[in-house]
Amino acid sequence: QEGEPIYLAVKGVVFDVTSGKEFYGKGAPYNALAGKDSTRGVAKMSLDPKDLTHDITGLTEEELKSLDDTFNNVYKAKYPIVGYTSRRILNEDGSPNLDFKPEDQPHFIITDEF
């Protein structure tokens, strides 16, 4: 929707990519990544709908390195973190993930709810 923020998640971290709407907005080249956890697509540099998922099963070492590089040097470097996916903060049974570590973003405050 015009005027609404554009969010996408990578590695369970939700970024506000609205400032990059020429890349992620309606009709833009990477719009397929928006609105979901597109970790696999980012790792594979793929916009194929089957790759637009959080699942990293079977990725190569090279793809995992590419994922980490893009996560750190593009998303974390350019866009504010606005939240985390439930997969990041909860275990499959719904209990809190005690290994959850919020990314280093001074403007994002994690509360005891997590």
DSSP string, 54-67: S--TT--HHHHHHH
How many domains does the structure of the chain reveal? 1
Confidence of residue 105 (pLDDT cuts 50, 70, 90): low
Q: Flag whether 96 is in a domain.
A: no
Domain contains 102: no
Does residue 104 sit within a domain?
Answer: no
Give the C-alpha distances (Å, rounded to integers) separating 18 from 6, 76, 111. 5, 14, 24
3-class SS of residue 101: coil
pLDDT digits (tens, 9 = 90+) for 72-99: 999 999 999 998 888 888 887 888 888 8
pTM comes to 0.83
- Is 110 domain-assigned? no
Q: Output the furthest CA–CA distance in the chain (Å, rounded).
A: 39
Tell whether 24 is covered by a domain: yes
Domain range for 44 is 7-88
Q: CATH number of the domain that 28 lies in?
A: 3.10.120.10
In a domain, 56, yes or no: yes
Using a pLDDT cut of 90, give the percent of the chain over it: 69
pLDDT class for 109, splitting at 50, 70, 90?
low
What is the rounded CA–CA span in Å between residue 7 and residue 101? 20
